[in-house]
Structure 1
Amino acid sequence: MQTKLTLRIDEKLIARAKKTARARGKSVSQMVAEYFVRLDSQRPIDPDQLPPTTLSLKGFLGSRDLSREDYRRYLEEKHR
């Protein structure tokens, strides 16, 4: 069953949401509903639902504990 939800949102944000929805071929309501579904963090991730590229990278880093600082250093080296 669907029900109506009223939100108070800045006009500019609504305009951007409508533009984005139009570009995606969806309604703003569909986008909001999809966002709420994503908020459901209790639902375990089903590996079979992952895109093939993402699935192929799963576990790639193993147990390495990399920080933002590690990544920053990597990027600095890469772009020298």
Structure 2
Amino acid sequence: RGFCLFVGGGVSDSRRVFIAATAVWQLVTWEGFHTATCDLFSLVFVFPFALFALRRTITAVYTRLAAFAFAFAWYFVIT
């Protein structure tokens, strides 16, 4: 698994988020002992970087969610 070789240098924020999300997903689905161990390693060492990246982009995420909620409400409630 490629993300087990994560070293942190030169990796974009979106890549860190993707790696951490993949680790969390595979921990949840629990594909086997080796996979779970590998993903636990990734979770411990990658997730802090992902949280830092998310902290930098959380405002943009909330803005997009608010826009989606408004469009959803406009389509189903107002029209």
> TM-score if structure 2 supplies the norm length?
0.24
Highest Rg: 1 or 2? 1
Greater relative CO (CA pairs within 8 A, separation 6+): 2
> TM-score if structure 1 supplies the norm length?
0.24
Query: Which structure is higher in helix share?
Result: 2
